Structure 1
């Protein structure tokens, strides 16, 4: 990969990270505050940091594989595997998130799809 291509990919990843951060912040709001999102589209990795209500230390979540799927005019994001800095959160993610379709709002779908 050339330096120019790498710079373009990093800029694209930063832009999509900001869009994902806005969307994830809305989703996590009842449970705490999202502190940051970092996308690496080349390695299909997504890292999130959040401070959950009642916790004194932030948690770190790494999504190691994701995909975008379109069905019947809707766009979905699927997280296939990953882990969290706390074992119980990894278990929750495995049980309730990994492998399931998350419907992307139309206002975010196009921008996220272009970047991922």
Structure 2
């Protein structure tokens, strides 16, 4: 599967769908895509990792950096559709302490609406 980043806006959330491997080769493209989304007004991101087949430390570094950039702008970032392989990476690195993982977009939307900014308590649902 080729690496790709697509996004769409639903209400005030920007849903970012990532496909393929997130690694040392694709991380710069991911960072650039996410920065473009933020620069164009996307402050509340729901990142769909359902089609991500691999995630390395370089990719995690990009996601953490984007998270901090969003927080500095009163934005938020959560994840949905995380497969078991990628979920393990989040658990092993203890990033589930800062990142919220949702099963579906409906879950992410409900959490965002309930909190007003989707900065809910991280969970591993």
Which structure features the higher share of strand residues? 1
Note whether the superposition's TM-score is higher than 0.5: no
Q: When the two structures are superposed, what TM-score results if normalisation uses the length of structure 1? A: 0.29
